[in-house]
Amino acid sequence: MRKPSHRSRAVLAALAATVLGVTGCDAVGGNSPGPTGTGEQSAKPSPKPTPVWDSSPASVAAVGDSITRGFDACSVLSDCPEASWATGSSAEVDSLAVRLLGKADAAARSWNYAVTGSRMADLAGQMAQAVTRKPQLVAVMAGANDACRATTDAMTSVADFRAQFEDAMGTLRKALPKSQVYVASVPNLKRLWSEGRTNPLGKQVWKLGICPSMLGDADAVDAAATQRRDTVQQRVEDYNEVLAEVCAKDRRCRFDGGAVYAYRFGEQQLSQWDWFHPSVNGQARLAEIAYRTVTRKEA
C-alpha cells in the first residue's frame, strides 16, 4: 500500500479537527439545551426574602399612659380616646391607626389599652390584654409617669425601668413573636414646664397634682428648683436610652429615634386646660411622628 502523501495527511488532520470541534460545540452550547441539575438551579435568581418589617400592618393595639388616652385633649381632667394619636377616630388627629388602616377598618381593627396614670410597671399587664387581639402592630408610649412623681427620689430607677420594659416586651413576644412594635420616646418634660409656666390657668391645674416633680413650684427658679427639674430631665433621657437599647435587640421593634422627645410642643400643641398634655393638635403631631417611623423603608 502506498503511504499517504504529505498533502493527504494534512487533509485528514483538518477533517479530524473539524469533527472534534463540532462534537465539542454540541456538548456545551449552540442550539442544544443547557446543562441541568445544580448548575441550572444556581443560574436562577433567588427569591427575595420577606422583609422583617411590614410598613402596612392590618391591625393596631396601643398601650401606655394618659397621652395615649388623649387626657385633657377635649375637656378638663378627662380622657378623650377619640383624640388619641395611636387609635383615635378624630379627623383632626388622623391617628396612626387611621393613617395605616383607613377610618372604617381602624374602627374595627384597632384597640386602646392605655391607662391614665400608668407607669412602666403596668405595661406588661396592658400587653397581656393587647395580645388577645393578635395585633400586627403594637404602639407604645410610656415612661412619663415614672419621672412625674411626688419627689425625685420616688422616680422609677433606670434599672427597674429597663427590667419592666423587658418584661412587657417578653409578654408580647411569648404570645406574638412576629407582631411589630413602635416605641415612642418620653417627651421633654422640662420643655413642657417651660411652655406651660406662662399660663396662669395651666399652673392652677398643675397644683392638682400633675407631674409635681417637674411642675411643682412652677415659678421657682432658685438653685434647688433648677436642680430638681434637671434631675427629672436626666431621668427622662436615661429612660429614652433604655427604650432605644431594648427595642434595638428586637428585629421587629422600631424606636422613634427620640423624635417625640425632640418635638418642640408649643402653645397650639398643648392642652388649653393643663398646658402639659398634648392638645388635639399635639396629638396629630404625635400621630405624624409615629406614622413616619412605622412606614419608612429602613429602621
HEC-encoded secondary structure of the chain: CCCCCHHHHHHHHHHHHHHHHHHHHHHHCCCCCCCCCHHHHHHCCCCCCCCCCCCCCCCEEEEECCCCCCCCCCCCCCCCHHHCCCCCCCCCCCCHHHHHHCHHHHHHHEEECCCCCCCHHHHHHHHHHHHHHCCCEEEEECCHHHHCCCCHHHCCCHHHHHHHHHHHHHHHHHHCCCCEEEECCCCCHHHHHHHHCCCHHHHHHHCCCCCHHHHCCCCCCCHHHHHHHHHHHHHHHHHHHHHHHHHHCCCCEEECCCHHHHCCCCHHHECCCCCCCECHHHHHHHHHHHHHHHHCCCC
Pick the CATH number of 60-295 from 3.40.50.150, 3.40.50.1110, 3.50.50.60, 3.30.2020.30: 3.40.50.1110
For 153-168, the pLDDT digits (tens) are 999 999 999 999 999 9
Residue 52: pLDDT band (50, 70, 90) is confident
Is the pLDDT confidence value at 31 over 60?
Answer: no
Is the pLDDT confidence value at 35 over 60?
Answer: no
Tell me what the mean pLDDT of segment 246-255 comes to. 97
